[in-house]
Structure 1
């Protein structure tokens, strides 16, 4: 009887181990991204083993290698293209579908050069909705009554395309107290609303009760240049309005060469800053086509061959990034791109793009002496490890400027695929 109980106990433990192993593997399969890339000629390991299997009927551009050691499958990219893979339980029950894209490893030219950014928004951005005191002394808000909110963009008034804040003032004072139709962009959706401007007691001007902004400018860092597509990426994060925090929609944007004039050191609680001025403003470096959460993108127009003369290097995917030594390229003086040593101290296992993919620490004594660490204006500085472009600087730790965040370069390069 005692022996039977002992066997039952071991059997129970064995079943528990099987169930735990099954559950762990199932969770890994289910949470692994449905869409992923394999580099042509390279391998990607999938943690798929019994009782799960891969349906081989649609492999085509990839091949499978069974690893005896860890009882898992490796996919080998054979040719460029897309294919679909199915994971099944016991070869019968569908568990998950994967969309696989086999691509060549991109080769890009790392940046590090300072750039000046000028960007006009699509329409004008509402940064405040306020009350207006009309000529009768009444406190009113036509904009609020019309449903306008901070963060909205006014695209048209009475069918006329809006390109500047001055234009809004001109139209309202020409139409006076007549009703106007306003086309509004909010969260990528458009709608129309009606409103009437009121005559302001203070200056006799007609107002809706809004403050608007139509352009922005600043200094940042180029991350990469893709010679094949003549495109660039910079900043590592999007350009947002300082008052609303909203990502700005680009109507027209330009990047130009910038000359560093001063560097304010970062200190605990106070982020430092690279200050610069635009120079050769008649020589446009590039045109901004998009402003996303992961940087600005566009086409290169002319840079006197400075970027194009540099050597191309491969990008490194997030699975290849390691803890430890790495380097950044950035510009601090004399428009010279310099190389500084950093350390990657933490990596995030991200399946969804995010600006905070890794935590980096500045270890280069020269850079610490000049800037105190990471400062504003260094955003977009390319991160190099094992001779591959693996990421870009995005943010600084306010309470410790020697540290900051970087994002995986593949999040910036999504528009290539």
Structure 2
């Protein structure tokens, strides 16, 4: 009887270990990042059919919001939603755990203030990344006709996309984005090379001539 119990426990340990390994591999294959960068107004949502939770070191807890118990109702649906939301600017190391116990991945989270670039009537929020710049959002533009336009949104750009190149010119910092867009002819278009969830995509933005913006030199 005792031998059977020991074998049963060993089988359960093997199954749990194997399941944890499968979860870790799934996170890697599906593009769960090891490095997250966003502004205080954003949050990272990851949907996966496993019960995951996060643990933050005590001395870094002020950077990341406490886990949101309503996250699964808001984002999950048929899957589990893991939400990492910033609280203050800074850097934190987050441990992703299965069943709240088994560590399956470590993530470095950098929360920095959003840098808004508005050259030549284009408004797009960007953050520095290890390659290119991360798009953290876009705002509407008011055209000369007084109407609002959303050129970046209409082109299919999403928050979290990594901007790699504009018109075949590589970008690695905010200044690159401003320089290229500022030198664009009024009738030209922006051909963007972006990375989304590990996949490289091409997008095209049709420019909009905007009304004068207070505080900006023509």
TM-score (norm 2): 0.46
Higher strand share: 1
Higher relative contact order (CA 8 A, sep 6+): 2
Higher helix share: 2
TM-score (norm 1): 0.27
